[in-house]
Amino acid sequence: MNASQPAPGHGNTPTTLSRRRLLQTGVAGAAAAAASQLLPPQLARAADTYDSMRDVWVRMLTGTGFDPTAAPFAGALSSLGSQAGSFQSTMAPSGGSLWPDLPIGTVSANVTGTYTRLRTMALAHVQANTGLTGSSALASAISTGLDWMHAHAYTPTTTTYNNWWDWQIGAPQRLLDVCALMYPSLTQAQTAAFCAAVDHFVPASTVATYSGTSTGANRVDLCRVLALRGVLGKSSAPLSTAKQALSPVFPYVREDDGIYADGSYLQHTYIPYAGTYGQVLLGGLSKMFTLLAGTTWAVTDPAVQNVFGAVTTAWAPFLYNGLVMDGVSGRGISRGVSSSDPSMIQQDDHTRGQGIVSDILRLATSGLASPAQSAAWKAMVKGWLKRDYYAPVLSSKVLEIPELARAKALLDDATVTASAEPVESRVFGMDRAVHRRGGWSAQLSLCSARTSFYETGNGENLRGWHTNSGMLHWYGDTYGNGQYSDAFWPTVDPYMLPGTTVSTRPLADAAGGAWGASHPNATWAGGTTDGTYSAVGQDVRGLQSTLTGKKSWFCLDDSIFCLGAGITCTDGTGVRTTVDNRNLGAGNGQVFTVDGAVQPATLGWTQTFTDCGYMAVGGMGAWVFPGGATVQAKRVARTGAWSDINTTSSTIPITRNYLSLWFEHGTDPVGAGYSYQLMPGATATAAAARAANPNVTVLSNTAQAQAISCPPLGLTMANFFAAGSAGPITVDGPCSVLMKEQGGSMTVVVSDPTRAAATVRVTIARSTYKSVSASSGVQVLTTSGQVVLLAETGGTQGAGRAVALSTSGTAPANATASHLGATATTYVRDGSYADTNYGNATTMVVKNTATANDGYNRRSLLAFDVSGLSGRVSRAVLWVYGNVQDSAGTQTTLQAFTTSSGDWTETGVTWNTAPSLITVLGTGTLSKGYDWVGLDVTGAVAAAQVSAGGNGTVSLAVFEPLGVAGLAAVLRTRLNTANPPVLEVIAD
């Protein structure tokens, strides 16, 4: 078949494309008309809804609005044709394979790989200017390949083996792409047969529940398979299933996989994954939205706005000048060059970043988001593309034609002004932090009981053991963007990752188990931020090691100040903190200066510097050591292969040179520590000036508290790993505190990275502040003589609570904070359990089935003695601790109620004798993860005060919103020694 002749098949009578279809491809008017001339005529027109949708998908695969004879498209199309021609010439159908190097039968990846090659051939057949456009021989080879795979590999009766992903996502996605591209050349019988195979591996039941492998990015991928199968088979049922199955992806989650309100994105339960699985989710959704728009199956769920919002909260913070930071790419950092890739193209932070940037641009040009959102996204994308000096997008070898076309159109669009690099600081609940300035950016990777040391699996990321032990990634605007792109991961010493503190105890490949199986048993990881500056910390533990220690990073304007304390280990091996490990690339010309003296550039050189004041690497940055320190340094060439860390990657040796800087804490250290200041981009002269005139004072560096002050910025920041004091700050439990004083105002932000406490009391030795100008989740108890705050940290998932005070205005009345334990707690149950008492239990249950007397409704009851309270109650919060334990879902809403009477007893009350619910009070959200929920019960407590005419006891019920079915939530009772209910009362 050639490009000017329609192929025999099952195409229908053509009709003109609607304007909606042209707009969905991001092209309008003459550009769209011109683009359609670059496609075979049978792809330029469509007959019905299914054909129109197929046409939209083909255009997303092939691109529009570009000149195939111009750069960069001509070269990309020529390469595509060459690769397709190579596949065509080497295809050799036999009993065991379509290509000899991809045998079928034991390795499921070979099934996906085979369809990937057929997809390349199909693209070369349909695309203009490939040298194989419209080739009848190529079309015949593709058809032969599809039939062979249907007969021998991907059949309606094949039993799966190896990796589920290949059967349900990898293979069917590529198969359906080929079918869409070659649709006019295929017979109805072929299409029906291929759809039947997809039905076998990906039935509707794969998305029946939002659990297991059917969540987050995987769920979007499965929906894409179902939708395309519906389009190609002209069947509405799979499309309806796909549309409905997308909805669970949109709501914010508080546990497990998905998008969190703070911008976190997790996959595989424990892994921060915005850079790989997150890219799959974003890319899949942007394509699905475009495919379904304007049809019966258009996505109308209002929660889709969460996805649009996440573009700026979940993805943009980790994108820097076109790359995506490795700390959110999981085991993907180890892939590098695949041994099965004939082009030997390396996957790295830039190629992954280009994918995400392309997905955002696809959303921005789809017409689906608001004009304001789309304009903001385009401006962000243009900024990233214009600033990416290291791997310019138009030179990309991994992006396909449609993505290149959109990028070039944006770069050529004079109406879009590129956004500048933002100045911001973010701390995420997924144990990640990002600090951005105009000339540089940094990202911290931590771990805790909530996240894993690292992820390995499928033979990938075999030596990523310490990547989350405080690794500090940093990049410059015009320097250092190849630090992790240039074969860093296969050549770096895995025991010397920048910023980490580790035991050098030898670890086996994949130590700790697959899929994030190993977690530290510490909960302190995270910190607090005011959006511009951050205090970040970690209670660090060693993987398969006795190592413990405390680490902090204080993120400032031109630097990050780093502290370590309490570093202790009994492994019988050395322990070190790596200040940095700069990848010098294949060359070795960078000048290294220590205290004004240029050091040798000889590979193999090593030196111990005592009482060192500063170090600097020309063109990269500098490190200052307040008060002097003993620092080890070496220049070394390291050789490795991608296959060392990923079993499916290239075995070709690679050598890169490194300048390594570290503190040697010795064998089995006890209470070791360190202090240094990283200054990205700084020269040796700037470092010398900083060493001579420090801008930071260390207030504390112990295992209990790490704190600094930075007078030029008005900042005092502290990480408390236990109750205690540091500088002007005293706290009653673990927390992170950031103070900024400037121009007669003070802002204080408090968080609890451990997520263990309902409230944290913070006392600040400042007497000049009076009035409260703004507050969120913080109660000001007094400003008389000192500032005393009560931060309500429960249920925030580690987020900060903030208050702003001023030296002017009228001081608020002094208040007291009381925390009362319950005098009685229990629950009651309806139906056949209506006369059963559940007193003397350590847990109580809440569930509203919205069906009366079915035996599954349960309410919790609590009583508190408030007779000892004095003063006016201004705020009262009932804090309960527990989690959702229900197979029907993961998240529910709890609600507090007043009851008709307090005349019930813990060991006597039943459903039939329990007081009725009267007044609706506060609400809160609970998920599968154990957490505090704070329910506002101010009115009930005020009414129960003796001084207000009450009887001194407040009786409360916890249930779910009336008339709405909820999930079973299990809460702790007063008899539980861990986190029993607490009534917080603020009175003045």
pLDDT at position 946: 56
Please name the residues in contact with 95: beta carbons below 8 A apart, sequence gap of 6 or more.
152
Paired strand residues for 622: 616, 679
Write the pLDDT tens digit of every residue in 501-515. Answer: 999 999 999 999 999
SS3 414: coil
What mean pLDDT is predicted for residues 832-854?
Answer: 97
What was the pLDDT predicted at 944? 87
Asked if the model's pLDDT at residue 832 lies above 90, the reply is yes
Question: What is the distance between the alpha carbons of residues 165 and 218, in angstroms, rounded to a whole number?
Answer: 9
- The DSSP result for 544-596, as a single string, is TS--EEEEEEEE-SS-EEEEEEEEE--SSSEEEEEEEEEEEET-----EEETT
DSSP 736: E
pLDDT of residue 160: 97
**pLDDT given for residue 592 in this prediction:** 98
Tell me the pLDDT band of 365, cut-offs 50, 70 and 90.
confident
Average pLDDT over residues 539-566: 98
Query: CA-CA distances (angstroms) from residue 185 to 93, 114, 128?
Result: 20, 20, 17
Where is pLDDT greater, at 32 or 984?
984
Give the residue among 88, 104, 20 at the shortest CA–CA distance from 55.
Answer: 20
- The yes-or-no verdict on residue 134 having pLDDT over 80 is yes
- At residue 38 the predicted structure's pLDDT band, cuts being 50, 70 and 90, is very low
The tokens for 876 are 């009262």
Does residue 951 have a pLDDT over 70?
no
Contact indicator for 881, 934 with CB cutoff of 8 Å? no
User: How confident is residue 208, by pLDDT bands cut at 50, 70 and 90?
Assistant: very high
Share of the chain above pLDDT 90, in %: 92
pLDDT digits 0-9 by tens, 69-110: 999 999 999 999 999 999 999 999 998 999 999 999 999 999
Beta carbons of 769 and 783 less than 8 angstroms apart: yes
pLDDT at res. 878: 98
* Residue of higher predicted confidence among 943 and 764: 764
Query: Which letter does DSSP use for residue 338 in this model?
Result: B
For residue range 230-254, what is the model confidence (pLDDT) as tens digits? 999 999 999 999 999 999 999 999 9
List pLDDT tens digits, range 855-871: 999 999 999 999 999 89
The dihedral sign for the CA sequence 295, 299, 305, 309: negative
pLDDT of the residue at 950:
52
- For 715-752, write each residue's pLDDT tens digit: 999 999 999 999 999 999 999 999 999 999 999 999 99
Give the model's confidence band at 44: pLDDT under 50 very low, under 70 low, under 90 confident, else very high. very low
pLDDT of residue 47: 59
Q: Looking at residues 551-557, what average pLDDT do you find?
A: 98
Quick check: 12 pLDDT over 90?
no
Q: What is the mean pLDDT of the chain?
A: 93
Q: What is the pLDDT of residues 577-593, one digit of tens each?
A: 999 999 999 989 999 99
Arithmetic mean of pLDDT, 669-697: 98
3-state secondary structure of 358: helix
pLDDT at position 20 over 80: no
- As a whole-number percent, the residues of the chain with pLDDT over 70 amount to 95
User: Is it the case that residue 930 has pLDDT exceeding 60?
Assistant: yes
Question: Residue 945: its pLDDT value, please?
Answer: 76
Known catalytic residues are 218, 268, 277
- CA angle, residues 333, 561, 629, in degrees to nearest 5: 100
Average pLDDT (36-56) is 63
CB-based contacts of 601: which residues, under 8 Å, 6+ apart? 588, 589, 590, 591, 592, 635
The pLDDT of 144-168, averaged and rounded, is: 97
Note whether 787 and 737 are within 8 A (CB). no
Q: How far is CA 461 from CA 281, 329, 645, 697, in A?
A: 22, 11, 5, 39
pLDDT tier, 617 (very low <50, low <70, confident <90, very high otherwise)? very high
Q: Check residue 32 and give its pLDDT.
A: 34
Residue 343's pLDDT is 86
Per DSSP, the three-state class of 775 is strand
Higher pLDDT, 45 or 401: 401
Question: What pLDDT score was predicted for residue 14?
Answer: 28
171-181 and 136-152 helices cross at what angle (nearest 10)? 150
* Exposed/middle/buried for residue 770 (C-beta within 10 Å: 0-12, 13-18, 19+): middle
Q: Is the pLDDT of residue 30 over 50?
A: no
Residue 334 pLDDT > 90, yes or no? yes
The pLDDT value recorded for residue 26 is 33
Residue ranges in 63-108 assigned as alpha helix (H):
73-90
CA distances from 972 to 63, 661, 846, 908 (A): 57, 49, 11, 19
Choose between 488 and 38: higher pLDDT: 488
Question: Which DSSP string do the residues of 776-821 spell out, in sequence order?
Answer: ESEEEEE-SSSEEEEEE-TTSTT--EEEEEESSSPPPPP-EEEEEE
What's 503's DSSP letter? E
621 φψ region: left (φ > 0), alpha (ψ -120 to 50), beta (else)? left
Q: What is the pLDDT of residue 952?
A: 85
pLDDT in tens, 768-822: 999 999 999 999 999 999 999 999 999 999 999 999 999 999 999 999 999 999 9
Mean pLDDT of 913-931: 97
